Chain A
Amino acid sequence: MRICVVVQSAAFLDSAGARIRYRRFAQDLPPGVTLDVVPIADLLAQKQFAADAYVFAKVFSANALILGHHLRAIGKWVGHDLFDDYFSQDEDSRLGVYRTWMTAMAPCTDFAVCTTPHMLAVATRYLPAARLHIVPDPYEPFDLPRLSALLAAKAARIAETRHIRAVWFGIGDNPFFPVGLQDLATHAGVLARARRLGWTIELKVVTNLRALSADGLALIRALPLPTVIEEWSEAAEGAALEAGDIAFLPVSAQSFSRAKSLNRAITSLCSGCQVLSTGHALYQALEEVVYRSIDPLLDDLAARRGKLRADNTASLMRVLKATSDPVAAAHAFVQAATPERPAPARQAGGAKFCVVHGMDSPSENHKLTVRLKGLSVRSPFHNGRLNYHVRFDAKDGGYDVFVERSLIDQVDPGLTFDRTHLTRIVDSDYARIDGETLGLGAGHAPHCVRADQLVAKVAAYPHVIAAVTAACRRMFPELRVVVSESSHFALPPRRIAAAA
């Protein structure tokens, strides 16, 4: 059994997501299973696809969509590892590309794994036919006697000095949601309370460079306690937690934050920090070892009886076993990617799927489609000068549909059109089908599609793209249809249907 995790880039291999999850899975795989993490560009450069199952992780690009449909067509299991909730914010047009992508992936998806029940509920909306599994982030195995000694030393120092070293770490910003440093700024008053109760407290913020913009630094500047900033690296995070007493993990209740995994708390605990988490109760499963307010934490620190302490590591181990056992997580991941039912049938020769190029679809996706034996279809929004297999061209009062010469015989025989008269466009010869034959007419606002104004195109887009995909299915009933689209202006047809 070979599992291939498809990621966006080589840089992602060093990110927290890949590091926490796949490197730890790899250490505890069942016999006979291999796990490779491969950037999508490397995978596309290969001629062969040797793994049995492919798991897409944070690759929301149109070429991933094309690859997914191809893999399914050649008899591979296709799945997703869903970390972040970019899908449930129906009212947020900025995230339409994610919703469109996941909707388009659904037909070729066999399974998905999520780190939390909340994310699973989100995924269920998009992938009703897929098998969904919760696979938690595993904890990193650690040296328990060393942790006990560290905890004892920290407890003694804190009780003696009444000085606390708090740590906030992680990604400090997000392009769409107010998280990270925003959460810290919102909740930091909790830490300042320690000063009023007679403690001294300092904070170390370990975060990514991008978050340390003027806006991010202004948030840090306003924190009500002395703060030191450090740029995030795996080593910096580890050193801060090793030296720290409290990991402060405030969580907001927005959908994106509610879907997050437990990994920051687990990493903190395994590094010897008490965890104080205010706001949304994300870490409820860890409540035996996590504090929800600072007063009991301070009382316990004063009395050397912190929830995480040298003589009570059994609590920690019990909680870790229940929530993030590495062996169980690795096995659950493999099980999710190894369904008991047989692999999907390999489709017979000929074209396997249609790729409709929308407003913004790079020419590389046309080449990829051709290489993977799909049909490359021009929607009337696409402006490439390419030798498409099928073209939908807007004209005055309607649409022309052109089918490339070699495909004429593959068009559903029930469709009536002149299969002999050919028209040359770019470097290919096409037979013409009147748009009306395929349900595309004046009602689909060809004047808007041809207009220079973006707003006119945007208005027409959902109806026209829905009609184009329906027409492709009518012409080639055996093929799945995928829309290759990166434009933020392209509203998914699904929203229109829902509104209607």
Chain B
Amino acid sequence: MTRRTLVFHTHLVQDVTTLRPLIRLAQRLVEHDVVVLCAAEFAKHDSTGLWREELAALCAETSATLHTYETPYDAVRLLAGRHGMIVAGSESHLPNHAVTHALFRVMPPGFLRVTLQHGFECMGLLHNAAHDETAGGAVRFAADIVVTWFHESRLTTTSGAERPKLYLAGPPTLLEPPPANAADAHDPYRGMVCENLHSVRFVKGGAARQSFIAYFNAFADRFRHVGSPIHLRPHPAGAFTQRQGLPVPEGVVLDTGPFYRIALGEFGFCISAPSTVLFDFVLAGVPVAVWGDADGRIDTSNFSGLAEVVTVEDWWRFVARAAADPQPLLDRQAAFLAGLGMPPDIEDRYARLLSLAAVVTDETGT
């Protein structure tokens, strides 16, 4: 008899954030072995070593065993004598997910393969125009189960062939209470601007990248006189600001730590091009604005219903509204959330998902 095991797989550094609440949930609910399997390629994406440390700390905290593997065959050997479930932070047949896809294709038959929706817009589930242009509309998964955040009617890109694999469980970030605000820390003028300038949205976005940088610099310059800090948060994997050596304007705080350590409630507003961070701030009850370029090359349609800004004047007016009377903005955001079809019983659904590891057998069927 082989050992029942729950395996969590990380390849991209973002996978740590996606999987973290589930690994902690597994520690509370699951009695069998928990293994975190880390692809050797993870280190290539983690130039500072920050995410490796986060992963190690998470494993130490949850008593999960951390293994790194080089090739699919190494992973198969590591998991020899085990069966159960493997959960990946991201997986699809697309090149960015090739490492996890290869592993899922070769996982021993005694493992149920699960991948998670890993962002608000997510390859294979909900694309923007640039995603469609890059990947087309027929993204495939090697996973047996694809866990989604939203009702399938909102996941407009899922191919018909993959639709039967969908399992609605909701965003895993809601499995955990957010970090507490420091006393009196809420400041309506404390803002976060997020950049994902590495993203395919900007690669396909013509002059949008330069435009965003120019507007941000102008905004930061004007905002200096307000006296509250502006945080600039580069996407943790893209890290465009750091990699391109973009100058950080005076008075701007560069924010590069794990998102799950930030008390979002301390902020008064968030501005970003289409990105999952907008959704996270919406969940945290903070007014958000979606940035789109003047040429309309950046597709913001998946975020329709939220405030939209283009020019630095728009940014300025949005901040004024958010600070003076945030409620109308928050009402719109609540309506936006209500339309996503998120389930109310998220923890139960993830618990049921993880419990499947206990019913998988190690037999190979014919």
B105 lies within 8 A of A218 (CB): yes
Could you say which residues of chain B place their CB within 8 Å of the CB of A223?
Answer: 364
Name the residue among B73, B76, B108 with the largest chain A CB count within 10 angstroms: B73
Whole-angstrom CA separation of A192 from B109 in the bound complex: 15
Contact with A along B101-122 (1 / 0, CB 8 A): 0110111110000000000000
Give B55-86 as 1s and 0s: 1 = Cβ < 8 Å from A's Cβ atoms. Answer: 00000000000000001110010000000000
Contact B364 A217 (CB under 8 A): no
With A213-B72, A217-B76 as contacts: A225 and B366 at CB distance below 8 Å: yes
Q: Residues 309-327 of chain B: 1 if any A CB is under 8 Å from the residue's CB, otherwise 0?
A: 0000000000000000000
Q: A209-B73, A212-B73, A229-B76 are in contact. Are A218 and B106 (CB under 8 A)?
A: yes
User: Quick check: is B363 within 8 A (CB to CB) of the other chain?
Assistant: yes
B109 touches A221 (CB 8 A): yes
Interface residues as binary, A180-215 with B (CB distance below 8 Å gives 1, 0 otherwise) = 000000000000100110000000000001001110
B359 CB to closest chain A CB, in angstroms? 19
**Total A-B pairs in contact (CB under 8 Å)?**
39
Decide: A221 and B106 in contact? CB cutoff 8 A: yes
Distance in angstroms between the alpha carbons of A223 and B106 in the assembled complex: 11
Q: How many residues of A contact B (CB 8 A)?
A: 17
Contact between B108 and A221, CB atoms less than 8 A apart: yes
Check if B105 sits within 8 Å of A217, measured CB to CB. Answer: yes
Chain A 220-263 near chain B by CB (<8 Å), digits 1 or 0: 11011111010000000000000000000000000000000000
Q: Is B106 a contact partner of A214 (Cβ separation < 8 A)?
A: yes
Contact residues in B for A225 (Cβ distance below 8 Å): 364, 366
Cβ-neighbour of A214 out of B105, B108, B364, B365 (below 8 A): B105
Which residues of A are found within 8 Å of B105, using beta-carbon distances?
214, 217-218, 221
Q: A209-B73, A221-B108, A221-B109 are in contact. Are A214 and B102 (CB under 8 A)?
A: yes
Given contacts A214-B102, A217-B105, contact A224 B366 (CB under 8 A): yes
Residue of A nearest to B142 (CB): A218
1/0 per residue, CB under 8 A from A, across B221-240: the answer is 00000000000000000000
CA distance A221 to B76 in the complex (A): 10
Chain B nearest CB, measured from A231 CB (Å): 8
* Closest CB in chain A relative to B27 CB, distance in Å: 29
User: Chain B residue with minimal CB distance to A193?
Assistant: B366
User: B165: shortest Cβ distance to chain A, in Å?
Assistant: 17
Q: In the complex the two chains form, what is the Cα distance from A221 to B73 in whole Å?
A: 12
Do residues A217 and B106 form an inter-chain contact, with CB atoms below 8 A? yes
CA distance A14 to B112 in the complex (A): 40
- Residues in B with CB closer than 8 Å to A192 are 366
Q: Give the contact-size bracket for chain B.
A: 10 to 19
Q: Given the complex, which residues of A lie within 8 Å of B107, measured CB to CB?
A: 221
Alpha-carbon gap, A229 to B72, bound state (A): 13
Q: A214–B102 Cα gap in the complex (Å)?
A: 5
A220 to B363, CA, bound (A): 15
Q: How far, in angstroms, from A196 to B364 measured CA to CA in the complex? A: 14
Q: What residues of B have a CB within 8 angstroms of the CB of A217 in the complex?
A: 72-73, 76, 105-106
For window 344-366 of B, CB contacts with A under 8 Å fall at 363-366
Q: Which residue of A lies closest to B109 (CB)?
A: A221
Within 8 A of A (CB), among B129-143: none
Q: In the complex, what residues of A have CB within 8 A of residue B363's CB? A: 226
Task: Please give the distance in Å from A166's CB to the nearest CB on chain B.
Answer: 13
The reply to whether A224 and B364 contact each other, CB–CB distance below 8 Å, is yes
Quote the shortest CB–CB distance from A309 to chain B (angstroms): 29
Closest to A226 in B: B364
Shortest distance from the beta carbon of B254 to any chain A beta carbon, whole Å: 39
Chain B nearest Cβ from A196, distance in angstroms = 8
Interchain CA distance A214-B71 in the complex, whole Å: 8
Bound: A424/B352 CA distance, A: 84
Bound-state Cα–Cα, A213 to B105, Å: 11
Residues of A within 8 A of B71 (CB): 213
Cβ–Cβ contact A195 & B366, under 8 A: yes
Shortest A182–chain B CB gap in Å is 15
**Alpha-carbon distance between A212 and B106 when the two chains are bound, in angstroms:** 10
Min CB gap B95→A, angstroms: 14
User: Within 8 Å CB of A220, what residues of B?
Assistant: 106
Tell me, in angstroms, the Cα distance from A212 to B73 when the chains sit together: 6
Assembled-state Cα–Cα distance A452/B359 (Å): 63
Complex Cα distance, B209 from A292, in Å, reads 66
Q: Which of A31-60 contact B (CB under 8 A)?
A: none
* Per-position binary interface string of chain B over residues 86-109, scored 1 when its CB falls under 8 Å from any chain A CB and 0 otherwise: 000000000000000011011111
Asked whether, in the complex, the Cβ of A214 is within 8 Å of the Cβ of B366, the reply is no
B residues less than 8 Å from A195 (CB atoms)? 366
Residues of A within 8 A of B72 (CB): 212-214, 217
Asked if A227 contacts B364 (CB within 8 A), the reply is: yes
Given the complex of chains A and B, what is the CA–CA distance between A195 and B366 in angstroms? 9
Name the distance in Å between B196's Cβ and chain A's nearest Cβ. Answer: 30
A212 to B, closest residue via Cβ: B73
Q: Which of B76, B103, B107, B364 has the most CB of A within 10 A?
A: B364
- B106 contacts across to A, CB distance below 8 A: 214, 217-218, 220-221
> For residue B363, which residue of chain A has the nearest CB?
A226
Q: Tell me how far the C-beta of B339 lies from the nearest C-beta in chain A, rounded to whole angstroms.
A: 39
Q: How far, in angstroms, from A322 to B142 measured CA to CA in the complex?
A: 50
Closest residue of chain A to B76, judged by CB? A217
Q: How far is the CA of A217 from the CA of B365 in the complex (A)?
A: 17
Contact partners of B364 in chain A: CB under 8 A: 223-227
A38 to B245, CA, bound (A): 57
Could you jot down 21 A-B contacts, CB within 8 Å?
Answer: A192-B366, A195-B366, A209-B73, A212-B73, A212-B76, A213-B72, A213-B73, A214-B72, A214-B103, A214-B105, A217-B76, A218-B106, A221-B105, A221-B106, A221-B107, A223-B364, A224-B365, A225-B366, A226-B363, A227-B364, A229-B73
Interface residue ranges, A against B (CB under 8 Å): 192, 195-196, 209, 212-214, 217-218, 220-221, 223-227, 229
Closest CB pairs A-B (n = 8): A217-B106, A214-B102, A218-B105, A212-B73, A224-B366, A226-B364, A214-B72, A192-B366
Q: A192-B366, A209-B73, A212-B76 are in contact. List 12 more A-B contacts (CB 8 A).
A: A195-B366, A213-B72, A213-B73, A214-B103, A220-B106, A221-B106, A221-B108, A221-B109, A224-B365, A225-B366, A226-B363, A227-B364
